[in-house]
Each structure stands twice: as structure tokens, then as C-alpha cells.
Amino acid sequence: MPVLDLRDVEICFPGLDRPALAVPGLALAEGEHAVLTGPSGAGKTTFLNLLSGLERTARGRVAWDGVDLGALSESGRDRWRAAHVGLVMQDFHLFPGLSALENVLLPQRLRRFRLPVALESEAARLLGRVGILRTEQDVATLSRGQMQRVAVARALLARPGIIVADEPTASLDEASGAAVAELLTGLAREAGATLIVASHDPLFTRPASRGFARLLRLEAGSLAED
């Protein structure tokens, strides 16, 4: 059974003479990886926002494991996202003044009255896994590649079944980008998570590095598959 079932979705924004997104259907199986490409303005971020419940569709249906996101209230979608989705955004969304470890833990601290000790050790383990060994370092003093790796560790802490990443290697140098791409796909595979990455980076799109990931292409809001 497909874990993602998307049907007849259409998203329109005021001032646009065509839908920003018009997708008749897409199914992704549990643990499947997909790479989303397309020119600037094609609707990639809108699509990722829709899949992660940040954007709602007036037409059509987006369901993950039978949960219809459109039927949830905004706070219901927030709770669903916190429980199921690990998000890696383009601009990291880290909090300067807090350490790498505290940044990884922050979303879980906000969700719980008391943080389980096991989560702290898991956060430190994940940071080690992404190569951040000085976990007490203020994120404001990290390099961009290190910040992105902290964002990846944070996205994975709650063991999400779905990982959504928007241009995770943009603005990183080649070596840092390669490390982030490898970590993201490797850690998603280890966790059996479904991974959707919007990227133009050959690190994700090249057949050799893509492995078994599906290649989805958005063009002016329409989705095609290579």
C-alpha cells in the first residue's frame, strides 16, 4: 500500500494566471526516496509544503498512511507534522545563541513537559554521526555546512517516517554538499524513512548518486516522472 496517496491536487495563488501546482496523482511507497527537480518558480517549495502539511489544498487530497491532511485543523496538522515529518529547510532555521545540541533538542523540548534523557544522548549520537563533535558550540559560529548538518540531525531526532528536504546542499561547497547528501540519504535509508528532496544538485539527480530514488520533475506546476 502506498504510504503517500496524492490525488487531483491544485493550488492557486492570487496574481498567478495558472495554478502554482496541478498534480493529478502521485503515490510513494514506505521508505521510497524521490528527488524533485524543476526550474525556479516551478512549484517545488509549494509541493514540499503541501506534502508536509504546511500548505493546504482547496482541491484534491493529500493522505499519508490514510491520514487526509486536508481534513485536519491547522493545529492538527502541526501535531501530525511534529510526529511524522523531519524538515530540512533551505535556510536551516537554527537559533543563534543556542548550542548545536540545544538546537537539535529544541523542537522536542517544545513538545514535551520533560525531555527524556535518552533523547539527549540520541541527539549527541546523531550530531556525532553528522560529524559535529563540539556539540556545545554556538550555532552562530558554525560554518554553513556544519549548520546544515545540525539541521539534518535535528530533522532526524524524532525518528520521522517522512523526511522532506528543500535544496539541502544549496550554498554549500562541493565537499560539504556531498557530506550532507550522503548523510541524508544514508540516515533515511537506515531509518526506513520516506525521503523527498527538492534539488538541482547532481549529487542527488545524477543516476549514479541517485541509486533507486525516483526522479520527479515539476514544470510550471505540472509533475512528470523520468
Ligand X SMILES: Nc1ncnc2c1ncn2[C@@H]1O[C@H](COP(=O)(O)OP(=O)(O)OP(=O)(O)O)[C@@H](O)[C@H]1O
Q: Counting contacts by CB under 6 A, is residue 46 touching ligand X? A: yes
The window from 44-52, 67-75, 92-100, 136-144 that contacts ligand X (CB under 6 A) reads 44-52
Shortest separation between residue 1's beta carbon and ligand X, angstroms: 29
- The least distance separating ligand X from the CB of residue 167, rounded to whole angstroms, comes to 7
Determine the 3-state secondary structure of 157 from DSSP: coil
Nearest distance in Å: CB 14, ligand X: 6
Q: Which of 1, 17, 40, 73 binds ligand X (CB under 6 A)?
A: 40
* 91 in contact with ligand X (CB under 6 A): no
If we measure between CA atoms, which residue out of 89, 104, 88 comes closest to residue 137? 104
Give the shortest CB-16-to-ligand X separation in angstroms: 6
Furthest-apart CA atoms within the chain: distance in Å: 52
41 binds ligand X (CB under 6 A): yes
Out of 4, 9, 20, 69, the residue judged to bind ligand X by CB under 6 A: 20
**What are the angstrom distances between the C-alpha of 186 and each of 41, 52, 193?**
29, 21, 10
What cell does 149 get?
Answer: 548538518
The yes or no reply on residue 224 touching ligand X (CB under 6 A) is no
Q: How far apart are the first and last CA of the chain?
A: 22
Distance of alpha carbon 215 from alpha carbon 99, whole angstroms: 36
User: Is residue 19 a contact point for ligand X (CB under 6 A)?
Assistant: no
For 100-123, b where at least 16 C-beta lie within 10 A, e where not — what string?
bbbbbbbbbeeeeeeeeeebeebb
Q: Is 17 a residue that touches ligand X (CB under 6 A)?
A: no
Binding site for ligand X (CB under 6 A): 13, 15-16, 20, 38, 40-46
